[in-house]
Structure 1
Amino acid sequence: MTPFLTLQGRRALITGGTSGAGAATVALFQELGARVLTTARTKPANFSGAAFVEADLTTKAGVQTVVDAVHRDLGGLDILVNVLGGSSAPSGGFAALTDEEWDREFNLNFFPAVRLDHALIPGMVAQGRGVVIHVTSIQRNLPLPEATTGYASAKAALNTYSKSISKEVSPKGVRVVRVSPGWIADPGANGLALRIAEEAGIDYDAAVQVIMNSLGGIPLGRPAKPEEVADLIAFLASDRAASITGTEHVIDGGTVPTA
C-alpha cells in the first residue's frame, strides 16, 4: 500500500536544522525518505543523521557555502525549507533598536531566504518542479512592541516577498508557500522566552506564560510543539499539497484573533 505521505528520494535543504522546528523537520523528512542537507553556524556535538554544512547564513559568504554544498552533496534540489530565524533585539520598544539591531534582524530573518532562493530556485525552474517553504511568523500580524518590532518587520517582509515570487515561479512548476507559527514550546529555540526568564528572574515555563498573556492568550491553551510545525511543513512539501501555492498556513493554536 502506498503511504499517505512520502518524500522518498526528494532532495531537501532545511536551514536552522539543529534545534526546535528545524530539527523536527529534518528528522521527519528523513523518516519520509528525503535526502536532507541542513545547516547552522556550528554543528552540535550530538548531531547525527542528515548531511550537515557549517555556515553563517547571515552573510553572503555563508549562503554561498551552503549553495556549493547543495550542488556537491545533493546534485540539485527539490525542496527548500527556510526555518532559520529568531531575534536577539533588546526590550525597550522602537527606541532601543539601533541601526545595528535592524541589520541583525533582517540579516537573520529575511536576507538568507532571499539569497538562497536567488541561487537555488533557477535550478528548480530548469527541472520544472520544486517546493519552497518559508517559515514566517504570526508576529507579522501580532507584533509585540516592547520586544519584537524588528523581528516582526523582517517576517512581514519575508511574507510579502514570498507571495510575490510565488506568482512568478508557480507557472514554471515551483510552488512557494509560507508556514506561520505562533509560539513554539521548545526551550532550545525560543530565544524570547529564555531572555524574558533571565531578565525577570523566572523559569522558562513562567516566561512562556508571560508571552501567552501578552498575545491575549492562546485558545488551544499551549504553544505549538516543534513536531507539529514539522508535520505541516512535510505535508506542504509533499505531492499531497500539489495544488497549494502562494498561500500562508498559520499554526498558532488560535492566537491571531481574526480570520
Structure 2
Amino acid sequence: MQDKFNGELSGKIALVTGGTKGTGKAIAERLLEAGATVIITARNTPEENNEKLRFISADLSLPAGTQKVVKEILTRYGKLDILVNNLGSSETPGGGFAVLNDEDWEDTIRTNLLAPVRLDRGFLPQMIERKTGVVIHIASIQGRLPLYDSTLPYAAAKAGLINYSKSLSNEVSPKGVRVLTVSPGWIMTTSATRMMERIAASSNTTVEQATQGVMDALGGIPYGRPAQPEEVAELVGFLVSPRAGYLTGTEYVIDGGTIPTI
C-alpha cells in the first residue's frame, strides 16, 4: 500500500476525528495508504470494519470524550504526529434565527468548535516539545458563505474555527507545529447521496434534478458537481506530508469554484 506514496508517512501516528464515514473515512484511508498508523474516532462503531484503522469510541462534543481520546492515544503510542479535526455536523432545524434555541447553538458549537479546541489543547504540548507535528482543521465554505435558513449555528462555528486556526498557527508555528485549515464546499458523501434520493422521491424528480437544485441553492458550482470525499482526502494527504513542509497558517478552499469572490 505504501508504494504509491513511498511510505512518506511511515512512523507517523495520525488521528482523524469523525473518521468512520464520509470525508473522514476517506482521509483516514488516504493517510493509511501513505504509511501512517491511523486512529479514528466517532460515537458509533464503523459500519464497515477496517482492521488497519484503530477505532476509539468517544463523544467529542463532551470534555470527557476528548480527554478519553487524548489519554488512550498518548498512553498507547506516546505521541501524536498528525491531528485531523474532521468531526463536524449540523442538526439544527431550518427556518432562520427565530426557530433556534440555546441548545441548538450550544450543541453545534461544542461539536464544531470546542471539540477541536480541546483536542488541540490535549495533543499540542507533546508536539511542541518534539518541535514537530501537523494540525488540520476541516472547516467549511459556510464560514464565508453562510446559509442562514438551515445552518446558521454551523456556519458561525466554522467561521470561528477558521479564525481560531489562524491564530493558533501564529502561536505554534514558530515552535515547529504546522496548523492549516481545509474548507470544503458541498461533498457528495453517502449521506448526501441518500439525501438527494429522499428529495427526489418526495418531489417526484430525479436524483440529478435534486442535485442540481441544491447546487442552485448554493449559487451554482462552476465545476458542475459536488466534490468526492477522496478529492478532499487527497488535499489533506498532501498537506500533512513532508512535501508541504513550508505550509502553515493558511486556509485551503476546495469547492469547485462555489465561492464567487477571491
The TM-score normalised by the length of structure 2 is 0.92
Amino acid at match of 1:221: G
Kindly indicate whether residue 145 of structure 2 is the aligned counterpart of residue 137 of structure 1: no
1:39 corresponds to which residue? Answer: 41
Give structure 1 stretches of 5+ with no counterpart: none
Aligned equivalents of 2:217, 2:207: Cα separation in 1: 15
Q: 1:47, CA displacement in angstroms? A: 1.7
Q: 1:75, CA displacement in angstroms? A: 1.7
1:241 to 223, 244, 260: 244
Q: 1:72, CA displacement in angstroms? A: 2.5
Q: 1:69, CA displacement in angstroms? A: 1.7
Kindly indicate whether residue 106 of structure 2 is the aligned counterpart of residue 93 of structure 1: no
1:28 corresponds to which residue? Answer: 30
SS at match of 2:136: strand
Given that 1:5 and 1:238 are in contact with CA atoms closer than 8 Å, whether structure 2 keeps it comes out as: no
Amino acid at match of 1:42: N
SS at match of 1:147: helix
Q: 1:44, CA displacement in angstroms? A: 2.2
Q: 1:70, CA displacement in angstroms? A: 1.2
Given that 2:200 and 2:207 are in contact with CA atoms closer than 8 Å, whether structure 1 keeps it comes out as: no
2:56 corresponds to which residue? Answer: 53
1:255 corresponds to which residue? Answer: 258
2:15 corresponds to which residue? Answer: 13
Amino acid at match of 1:33: G
**Cα distance change on mapping 1:41 and 1:205 into 2, 3 Å:** farther
Aligned equivalents of 2:200, 2:108: Cα separation in 1: 21
Aligned equivalents of 1:41, 1:195: Cα separation in 2: 25
SS at match of 2:190: coil
Aligned equivalents of 1:68, 1:178: Cα separation in 2: 25
Number of residues of Structure 1 aligned to a counterpart in Structure 2 = 257
Note the 1:107-126 alignment, pairs <5 A: 107-126=110-129
Question: Identity across aligned pairs (percent)?
Answer: 50
Q: 1:196, CA displacement in angstroms? A: 9.9
Q: 1:158, CA displacement in angstroms? A: 0.3
Kindly indicate whether residue 215 of structure 2 is the aligned counterpart of residue 212 of structure 1: yes
Aligned equivalents of 1:70, 1:179: Cα separation in 2: 24
Given that 2:140 and 2:182 are in contact with CA atoms closer than 8 Å, whether structure 1 keeps it comes out as: yes
Note the 1:132-211 alignment, pairs <5 A: 132-188=135-191, 190=192, 194=195, 197=198, 201-202=202-203, 205-211=208-214
1:226 corresponds to which residue? Answer: 229
**Cα distance change on mapping 1:199 and 1:108 into 2, 3 Å:** farther
Alignment root-mean-square deviation, CA:
2.1
Aligned equivalents of 2:79, 2:207: Cα separation in 1: 41
Deviation readout 1:160-197 (Å, 9 max, x if unpaired): 00000100000000000000000001133x49x83994
More displaced stretch, 119-128 vs 72-81? 72-81
Q: 1:211, CA displacement in angstroms? A: 2.1
SS at match of 1:121: helix
**Cα distance change on mapping 1:149 and 1:3 into 2, 3 Å:** closer
Give structure 2 stretches of 5+ with no counterpart: none
Given that 1:194 and 1:204 are in contact with CA atoms closer than 8 Å, whether structure 2 keeps it comes out as: no
Q: 1:6, CA displacement in angstroms? A: 1.9
Amino acid at match of 1:34: A
Q: 1:148, CA displacement in angstroms? A: 1.2
Amino acid at match of 2:32: Q
Deviation readout 1:216-252 (Å, 9 max, x if unpaired): 1000000000000000001000011100000000000
1:62 corresponds to which residue? Answer: 65
Q: 1:210, CA displacement in angstroms? A: 2.5
**Cα distance change on mapping 1:195 and 1:64 into 2, 3 Å:** farther
Aligned equivalents of 2:90, 2:166: Cα separation in 1: 23
Q: 1:2, CA displacement in angstroms? A: 9.7
Amino acid at match of 1:243: Y
